[in-house]
Amino acid sequence: MHPQESNLFLLGHLIRRDLKVNRRDLSGNEPSEGGREGFTLVELLVVIFVIGILILLLLPAVNRVRAHAQSAQCRSNLREIGIAIQIYLETPGSQKRYPEAAVLPSLTPERESLAEILAPYMEENTAIFQCPADEEYFETEGLSYEYNYSRFGGKNRRQAFLGRRSGKKTRHESEYWIVHDFDNFHGSELEEGAYNYLFADGHVEGL
């Protein structure tokens, strides 16, 4: 048992013991000998107070569990998006080039969003593009994830992984992110795991 919980139970026990000295039932009469003693109003208030404190102690743990579940669902979404991108690349009409999708659809409405382009490869299930912790972007943008257009947009696999200065492939695909959360949905800005990333090799990581 948590030390704070132990202290609260001890406090309730002591108060109840002290109240028994001059105990009266709610009608104001002394309890009869051999009769069943009822709770006094003060005791009931103490019990309600203790329960309220325990609920406050449990809330942070409940919130942590919920946040962990949301982050796990978000990472699962990103894996599904990664699979859809690979299917898209193998489709003849794509010319084996990464989607020319908008980074922020509301800023470039003439360009399709990643959700719109990949929907046919995900059974039209655009809900996969919603992070469960996102309360802002999905409603206005139609997705919760930013696409790395500058690195991948309209490029084939060889072009996407060339160094911008060297013109050669200097890093592995696992080092290039392709999609990530629009915002720090899973923690404070500098907290590890605040953003979930999908990398070009298909793995997902919280950073």
pTM for this predicted structure: 0.71
Residue type, 17: R
- Report yes or no on 67 lying in a domain: yes
- Report yes or no on 16 lying in a domain: no
Which of the two residues, 95 and 139, has the higher pLDDT score?
139
82-95 confidence digits (pLDDT tens): 999 999 999 887 78
**Residue 204: both structure tokens together:** 């997902």
Q: What domain range is 89 assigned to?
A: 58-206
- Report yes or no on 177 lying in a domain: yes
Closest listed residue to residue 138, CA positions, set 101, 183, 100: 183
Which of the two residues, 19 and 194, has the higher pLDDT score?
194
Q: How far apart are CA 62 and CA 158, in angstroms?
A: 46
Find the angle CA(8)-CA(12)-CA(16) to the nearest 5 degrees.
Answer: 170
- Report yes or no on 21 lying in a domain: no
- How many residues are given for the chain? 207
- Report yes or no on 38 lying in a domain: no
First to last CA, the chain: 34
Binned at pLDDT 50, 70 and 90, residue 154 comes out as: very high
- Report yes or no on 46 lying in a domain: no
Can you spell out the DSSP letters for 57-90?
A: HHHHHHHHHHHHHHHHHHHHHHHHHHHHHHHHHH
9-53 confidence digits (pLDDT tens): 555 554 555 545 444 444 455 555 555 556 788 878 888 888 888
Q: How far apart are CA 57 and CA 145, in angstroms?
A: 34
- Report yes or no on 35 lying in a domain: no
- Report yes or no on 43 lying in a domain: no
How many domains in the chain? Answer: 1
